[in-house]
Structures are given as C-alpha cells and as structure tokens.
C-alpha cells in the first residue's frame, strides 16, 4: 500500500498548544496527512489527546527513556512515512491552504526543499508587553524563486541578515518541507537531522540544506509561529539561570561560555564543521558579527551572581582576540554592559524590569507607523488584536490572519502564488 503524500512531525514537551497545531493540520485542504507526535514530557497527557482524535493518521511516538529532550525531532521524523516531510513546532499552526501550496510548488518546480514565509502570534505572557496579544507580520511578495542551499548555509554561519530585503529567505524550521530523500541522505551521511543535546535546533536547517538538491522559496506565509511566554525562543534570557542549575551548557567548540541564544547557534555550526568537514568544513564563521550579537545578549542574560564574573571575564578574553577596529569597539561596549549588569541583576529579582518594559512598550506603540506603510517598506511590524474580539488564540489567528491582513493593508497585499 502506498504511503501518505505528506507527513508532519511534531516534537513536543506536552504543552497545551499542541492541540492547536494538530487541528491546523487536520483543517488543511489536503486529505490523508500523516501526523507523528513525539513527546519528551507529559507523555500520558499527549497519549490521551491523540486517543481523543480517534484518527489512525495521528501517530504517537513517545521519546524512549534516557534519550535527550531534543531527540524528539529526529525520533519523530524517523516514524514518518510520507513522500513530503514537514516539521511543525508544537506552538505553531499552519495557515489555511499551506500544505496544498507547498506541494504544488514542489511538484511544479521539481524542488526537494521548499521554504515558505511566516507570521507570528504573541500571547499575553510574552516578555515584551507592547506585543501582548498581537500578530507579527513579516512582509511578503507572493513570489517564488530558487536559491542556492550552500549560500543559505553560508548566511547562517556568517550570521548574515536574511529575510524580505535580502537574497536568502528566512528559513524558519516550521516553514521547511522536504522530500523524504533529503532526510534519508542526511541520516546516511550525518546520522541525524538535528543535534539532540543543545538548547536550540539550529543544526536542523543547515543539515537539511546540505542534503537538498533543488531549493525553492515561497514568499508567502504558510505558518503562524507562536512567540509565547513559554516558548524557549522567547525566554532564553530568563531561563538560563534555571538551566545552569540543572545542567552545564554542553559546549565543545564555542569560544565563549555564556548561556545565550547566539552561543547555542555557534556551537551547532562549529560541531557541524568539526564532525562533518567534508560537508561544512570550508564554510567560514563570521566571529565579528557573532561577537556583536553575543555582547548584546549578555547584557540581558539572567545569571546567578556567582556566574556573572566568569562569564564576563571569558567574554573580554574572547573579544581581545578579534581584529581591529571591532576589538576596541566591542570591548568598550562590553565594559559599559558589564558595569551596568548588577542593575539588570537587581531589576530582574525585584520586578523593576517589568516597569521598564511597560514604559518602553508605550513609547514604541506611540511611534509605530501604520501597517500599510511598514508593509510597503518591507519592515516587520505587529498588529494589536484587541480590535478583533473573536481572535483569542493562535488557532484563531491562523483562521483569520489573511482577513486581518486585508483589513490592515488593503490593496497592497499580495495574493498567493499561482502555481
């Protein structure tokens, strides 16, 4: 019997938004989509949810005991059987028509990797209060084009700017669909589609890109990405303190020790280079750009008091290895941030940082241009959803996103690509 056309795998820690993610797949206009859920926590709750659907196409693949938490990515993917494979985070939702569009692009272009665009949803627990209950918009053109996968990998390793104003698409993990052969080649050569012991999944995109033969980007939103108050992508700066208590940062090659997002990224890229030099060895890493981002992230990293001194001392040692004039510039900036860090430390523990976020949010909201102007200039922006009373959850946003955009943008809104 022939397998399904599409498989979607969802790694999860059992968060409640999982139900919205599954529903967004079932609401697509392509029947017979296989859904594979792999949970690393709350496995009984996840099993009950899947049983409630009573759908043989929704499969439960709980992560075996003893495997690293991020092992859910590879474990779930290995349980898929479809021709086209799509990863969806458990706090994201597909937009209507997304799968049909992506498959149509793959078939018409012969691509074995298709990447779409995305929107965001910010809930009422997000760290930036001015974004509470809002939809974030990444401007799009409704066009398709091919791109070179190794140029995209180079952009990742160089920490280049990517997105609507640049040659390389965003390539958010939840917007990438691949033919099964891409994953099979990755498993054969590298053994995984993502490192499972690091605090983010940024080896996922380079591994898939390295094993794709023809890549096409669709500059049209296919997913609502949840930027929730519990999403690791949003709480990395405050989660670091508890993570340090539980386990040390699993670094092998990174030049610095701080538990920041960008440091997780560079560790992924350096591991790929060191372990698979025949694939990634000649791709340069831009340490100057990395250092700029790292210093900025250290400014807000929530560390225990006894970690502050070694982390900042280590940062200064690394900055001194950089070439001029970057070295002098970043050393001066790091000194200012380090001297102010005790204020950040106290503010986080007394709650004063919440007041700062409220004041900053009011200032940003007062200066925000109209959505139509921002969209026309290809600048990211957000739309407060308070004026749409029926839109409450990420699922509601997925169902109403395009009608909201039409109302806010008007005639300048591109339509979906004609395939």
Please write down the HEC assignment for all residues of 41-66. Answer: CCHHHHHHHHHHHCCCCEEECCCCCC
**Looking at residue 93, which CATH number applies to its domain?**
3.90.550.10
The answer to whether residues 283 and 164 belong to one domain is no
Q: Which of 29, 173, 6, 26 is nearest to 89 (CA)?
A: 173
Q: Does some domain include residue 91?
A: yes
Please give the pLDDT value at position 196: 76
- Apex 39 CA angle, 36 and 41, nearest 5: 165
In the block, residue with structure tokens 């795998």 = 9
- Apex 223 CA angle, 386 and 365, nearest 5: 35
Please give the pLDDT value at position 234: 47
Please give the pLDDT value at position 43: 92
Where does a domain end: 309, 330, 350? 350
The answer to whether residues 221 and 133 belong to one domain is yes
The answer to whether residues 207 and 253 belong to one domain is no
Number of domains in the chain: 2
Q: How many Cα neighbours within 13 Å face the side chain of 271?
A: 22
The answer to whether residues 136 and 192 belong to one domain is yes
Q: Does some domain include residue 392?
A: no
Q: Does some domain include residue 399?
A: no
Asked whether the whole model's pTM tops 0.85, one would answer: yes
The answer to whether residues 309 and 191 belong to one domain is no
Rg (alpha carbons) of the chain, rounded to whole number? 21
Please give the pLDDT value at position 366: 67
Q: Does some domain include residue 138?
A: yes
Where does a domain end: 307, 331, 350? 350
Question: Residue 300 sits in which domain range?
Answer: 248-350
Q: Which residues of the chain have pLDDT under 70?
A: 1, 161-167, 198-201, 229-249, 352-362, 364-366
Query: Which run of H or E residues covers position 184?
Result: helix 180-189
Q: Does some domain include residue 160?
A: yes
Q: CA-CA distance, 113 to 182, in Å (whole number)?
A: 8
Q: Does some domain include residue 284?
A: yes
The answer to whether residues 264 and 141 belong to one domain is no
The answer to whether residues 226 and 283 belong to one domain is no
The answer to whether residues 254 and 221 belong to one domain is no
Q: How many Cα neighbours within 13 Å face the side chain of 338?
A: 18
The answer to whether residues 265 and 216 belong to one domain is no
The answer to whether residues 48 and 195 belong to one domain is yes
Which class for 336: exposed (0-12), middle (13-18), buried (19 or more C-beta within 10 A)? exposed
Pairing of strands 215-227, 113-122: parallel
Where does a domain end: 201, 232, 263? 232
Q: Does some domain include residue 413?
A: no
Please, are residues 319 and 295 in contact by the beta-carbon 8 Å criterion? yes
3-state SS of the chain: helix, strand, coil percent to 5? Answer: 50, 15, 40
Q: Which residues contact 199 (CB under 8 A, 6 or more apart)?
A: 232, 236, 243, 249, 259, 264
Please give the pLDDT value at position 88: 96
Q: Which residues contact 304 (CB under 8 A, 6 or more apart)?
A: 241, 244, 245
The answer to whether residues 210 and 333 belong to one domain is no
The answer to whether residues 126 and 211 belong to one domain is yes
Please give the pLDDT value at position 16: 86
DSSP for residue 165: T
Q: Does some domain include residue 359?
A: no
The pair of three-digit structure tokens given for residue 86, joined into one six-digit string: 């799509």
């Amino acid at each position: 019997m022939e397998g399904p056309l599409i498989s979607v795998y969802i790694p999860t820690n059992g968060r409640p938004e999982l139900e919205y993610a599954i529903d967004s797949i079932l609401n697509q206009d392509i029947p017979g989509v296989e859904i594979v859920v792999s949970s690393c926590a709350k496995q009984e709750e996840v099993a009950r949810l899947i049983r409630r659907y009573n759908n043989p196409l929704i499969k439960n693949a709980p992560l075996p005991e003893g495997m690293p938490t991020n092992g859910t990515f590879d474990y779930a993917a290995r349980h898929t059987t479809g021709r086209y494979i799509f990863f969806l985070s458990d706090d994201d939702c597909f937009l209507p028509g997304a799968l049909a569009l992506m498959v149509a692009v793959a078939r018409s272009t012969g691509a074995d990797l298709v990447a779409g665009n995305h929107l965001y949803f910010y809930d009422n627990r997000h760290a930036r209060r001015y974004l509470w209950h809002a939809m974030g918009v990444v401007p799009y053109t409704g066009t398709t084009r091919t791109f070179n996968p190794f140029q995209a990998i180079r952009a990742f390793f160089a920490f280049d700017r990517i997105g609507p104003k640049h040659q390389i698409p965003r390539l958010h993990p939840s917007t990438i669909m691949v033919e099964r052969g891409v994953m099979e080649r990755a498993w054969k050569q590298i053994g995984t589609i993502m490192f499972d012991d690091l605090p983010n999944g940024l080896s996922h995109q380079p591994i898939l890109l390295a094993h794709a033969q023809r890549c096409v980007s669709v500059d049209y939103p296919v997913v609502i990405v949840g930027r929730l108050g519990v999403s690791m992508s949003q709480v990395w700066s405050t989660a670091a303190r508890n993570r340090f208590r539980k386990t040390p940062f699993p670094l092998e090659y990174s030049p610095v020790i701080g538990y920041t997002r960008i440091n997780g990224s560079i560790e992924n890229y350096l591991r790929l280079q060191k372990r698979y030099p025949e694939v990634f060895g000649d791709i340069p890493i831009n340490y100057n750009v990395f250092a700029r981002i790292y210093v900025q992230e250290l400014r807000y990293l929530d560390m225990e008091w006894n970690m502050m001194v070694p982390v900042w001392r280590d940062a200064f040692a690394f900055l001194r290895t950089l070439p001029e004039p970057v070295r002098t510039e970043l050393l001066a900036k790091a000194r200012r941030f380090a001297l102010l860090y005790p204020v950040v430390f106290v503010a986080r523990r007394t709650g004063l940082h919440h007041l700062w976020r409220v004041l900053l949010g009011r200032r940003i909201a007062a200066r925000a241009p109209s959505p139509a102007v921002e969209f026309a200039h290809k600048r990211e922006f957000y739309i407060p959803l308070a004026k749409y009373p029926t839109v409450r959850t990420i699922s509601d946003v997925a169902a109403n996103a395009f009608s909201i955009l039409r109302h806010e943008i008007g005639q300048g809104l591109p339509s979906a690509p004609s395939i």
